[in-house]
């Protein structure tokens, strides 16, 4: 029991990650895909943040009378990763906007139809 509960953060990470992945795969709307991707990445942020926690550890700020601190490094790392995630999301959204401009839709089915009737080239599965 304690094992299951003790790994609670990992369970959440897995649930979030899989939901995100599912959304990426199952949704045909490009914006929703990006939402899924963000969810997926967020699960990894949670994973990093929770892993820095040391049992009975204190906030990693030097304080009188505290000898046990949580590990601050993963938190620092994940700041970078969050920035990367934001950048990815913005590039993705920018692409979605451009796709919307040239195709008039962000639904994959519409895009497929649009490409399917394109006379010059075929074979874009």
Task: Please identify which residue in 102, 116, 117, 119 interacts with other proteins, judged by CB under 8 A.
Answer: 102
Q: Is 3 in the site for other proteins (CB under 8 A)?
A: no
Q: Which of these, 28, 37, 23, lies nearest to 113 by C-alpha position?
A: 28
* C-alpha torsion sign, points 120, 110, 86, 20: negative
Contacts of 103 (CB under 8 A, 6+ apart): 110, 111, 114
Q: Minimum distance between the CB of residue 88 and other proteins, rounded to whole angstroms?
A: 5
Residue 73: other Cβ atoms inside 10 A: 11
Using the rule CB under 8 A, is 12 a contact of other proteins? no
Nearer to other proteins, 66 or 94 (CB): 94
Q: Are the beta carbons of 31 and 19 closer than 8 angstroms? A: no
110 sits near other proteins (criterion: CB under 8 A): no
- Residues of this chain that interact with other proteins (CB under 8 A) are 21, 24, 30, 33, 37, 40-41, 44, 47-48, 51, 73-74, 77, 80-81, 84, 87-88, 91-92, 95-96, 98-99, 102-103, 111, 115, 118, 120-121, 123-124
């Amino acid at each position: 029991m304690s094992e299951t509960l003790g790994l609670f953060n990992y369970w959440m990470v897995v649930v979030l990650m899989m939901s995100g992945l599912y959304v990426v795969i199952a949704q045909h709307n490009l914006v929703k895909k990006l939402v899924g991707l963000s969810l997926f990445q967020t699960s990894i942020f949670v994973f990093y943040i929770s892993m820095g926690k040391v049992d009975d550890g204190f906030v990693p700020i030097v304080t009188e009378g505290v000898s046990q601190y949580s590990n601050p490094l993963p938190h620092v790392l994940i700041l970078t990763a969050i920035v990367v995630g934001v950048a990815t999301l913005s590039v993705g959204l920018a692409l979605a906007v451009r796709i919307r401009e040239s195709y008039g839709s962000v639904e994959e089915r519409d895009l497929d139809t649009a490409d399917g009737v394109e006379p010059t080239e075929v074979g874009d599965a």
